[in-house]
Structure 1
Amino acid sequence: MAIEAKGSSGQEEGEEEFWLFGYGSLIWKPPPHFDHRGTPSSPGRVVTLIPSDYHATLSDPHPPTSDKVWGVAYRILPSRVSEVKTYLDIREINGYTIHYADFHPAADNASTIKTLVYIGTPDNQQFTGPQELDELAEHIYRSEGPSGLNRDYLWGLEESLKGLGEGSEDEHVSDLSERVRRIARREEEKGTAQEEEHEEVGHPFRKVSSIDEVEEMEKGV
């Protein structure tokens, strides 16, 4: 699908519209939007595209089952190109390279679109790579930053992928989402159990009305 990006800056001389391929949070949050789901000391996890030949060197618990990547195509109008490119340079240029790829709309008989896409580079300091799935789920569940909870990012991505077209669900994202949901249920049950235990113990002290009564209580201790 395609929507028009919104902004306020003017068009530079000779600048033409272009199409941007959006994946990850860009599926449901069009640019300009800066996404951070963790902190510098405890970074969250977000999805990124990397070259297939580099991915082949990694040990991935969820190897890809298709060479397709689902996302959305955003039509950037000429009057907004300068603003959006500036935003994307700030957001993506550190550890990413610019490429152009064919976008095939899910709608029947729709024409292929040439889109700009950002591909991650192996030397990106923020690139984590594959991780043991239960450890990754625990990390996502506990990470939070200025943009919100890391788990909300994951669940938002899962839900958005479902609505893109037939076969658009991602096995890795769905599996990881369910693992995080199990952690959420575990923590919720743990919290409920602790509350019930506190209520059962009660308070061991009672109110006293005089100094003499306090002394009598101390003698009995």
Structure 2
Amino acid sequence: MSVDVPPAQADDEFWLFGYGSLIWKPPPHFDRRIPGWVTGYVRRFWQASEDHRGTPEAPGRVVTLISRSYWEQLTDHHGSAPNKVWGVAYRIKPDRVAEVKEYLDIREINGYTIHYTPFHPARGGEPIQTLVYIGTPDNEQFVGPQDPQALAEHIYRSAGPSGLNRDYLWGLEAALDELSPESGDEHVTDLSNRVRAIAARDEKEKEREQIGLQAATVGPEQVLRREQQHHEQTHDFRRGSSIDEQEETEKTSR
């Protein structure tokens, strides 16, 4: 695993920047958690995941950071990106730093390498030098720009030892929204909305398949009759509710 040279840090403090699952799944043994951002990067779902949200046979997709200067040379279907990449900085207890580094090396082993970057606390103050794990474009798991709809379909289908890939995406979206009114990421939000639309589409398809199975079992006439009865019951309920509301209104106006 390659490592950038760490910058000088006051009092030998060890800070870690999380921009993906570390936001809502923090490392162990931290004593401070600060929302904020880094600059000079773009967050994208361009890193394959064979060990957490996918498998070696069917890798999922997770986020990585890409230097903005490199990203600007690429053709990205999401053509804009915020200047700030929001996330969270964690201060690790001094006597636990070696243990946490070992834990992170295992957690982030699938293509990520260690780098250092200044972190800007949301509440102001001097930047903090933080360690960050990044899947750079030269790592084997980097997949690069993808069509957003194809990427959303891929995320929707993928799963691994840590769970469904879509839950990682939605978890990141929710975690970012909780940090600050300005911490949203349109790349993450757009993918989340696309995956929600795919889930709704699949749910409707399952409903249609269920109706088809019922028709094959009891006959189309009975299925139609059941649907008509359900419609009539719903209509009667709404009609009764409307009459009740009208009577209540009349009583009130007297």
Partner deviation per Cα, 1:118-161 (whole Å, 9 max, x = no partner): 23222211111111111111100000111000000000000110
Q: Which amino acid aligns with 1:139?
A: H
Whether 1:64 and 2:85 are equivalent positions in the alignment is no
Whether 1:200 and 2:215 are equivalent positions in the alignment is yes
- Displacement of 1:198 after TM fit? 1.0
Q: Which runs of 5+ in 1 are unaligned?
A: 1-14, 205-221
- Displacement of 1:93 after TM fit? 5.3
- Partner Cα distance (1:96, 1:151) in 2: 21
Q: How does 1:122-201 map to 2 (within 5 A)?
A: 122-201=137-216
Partner deviation per Cα, 1:38-90 (whole Å, 9 max, x = no partner): 11111000000122232223211113332211000011111110011112223
Q: Which amino acid aligns with 2:161?
A: P
Counterpart contact for 2:60–2:159, Cα < 8 Å: yes
Q: 1:48 aligns with which of 42, 64, 69?
A: 64
Instruction: For residue 64 of structure 2, give the secondary structure of its aligned residue in structure 1.
Output: coil
Q: Which amino acid aligns with 2:13?
A: E
- Partner Cα distance (2:81, 2:108) in 1: 27
Partner deviation per Cα, 1:9-29 (whole Å, 9 max, x = no partner): xxxxxx943000011111100
Paired residue total: 188
Counterpart contact for 1:43–1:143, Cα < 8 Å: yes
- Partner Cα distance (1:199, 1:119) in 2: 51
Whether 1:19 and 2:15 are equivalent positions in the alignment is yes
The answer to which structure has the higher strand fraction is: 2
- Residues 93/186 of structure 1: CA separation in 2 closer, same or farther (3 Å cut): closer
Q: Which runs of 5+ in 2 are unaligned?
A: 1-10, 29-48, 220-254
- Partner Cα distance (2:109, 2:53) in 1: 18
* TM-score, normalised with respect to structure 2: 0.69
- Partner Cα distance (2:82, 2:214) in 1: 53
The answer to which structure has the higher helix fraction is: 2
Q: Which amino acid aligns with 2:178?
A: G
- What is the root-mean-square deviation in Å for CA atoms of aligned residues? 2.1
- Partner Cα distance (1:101, 1:94) in 2: 21
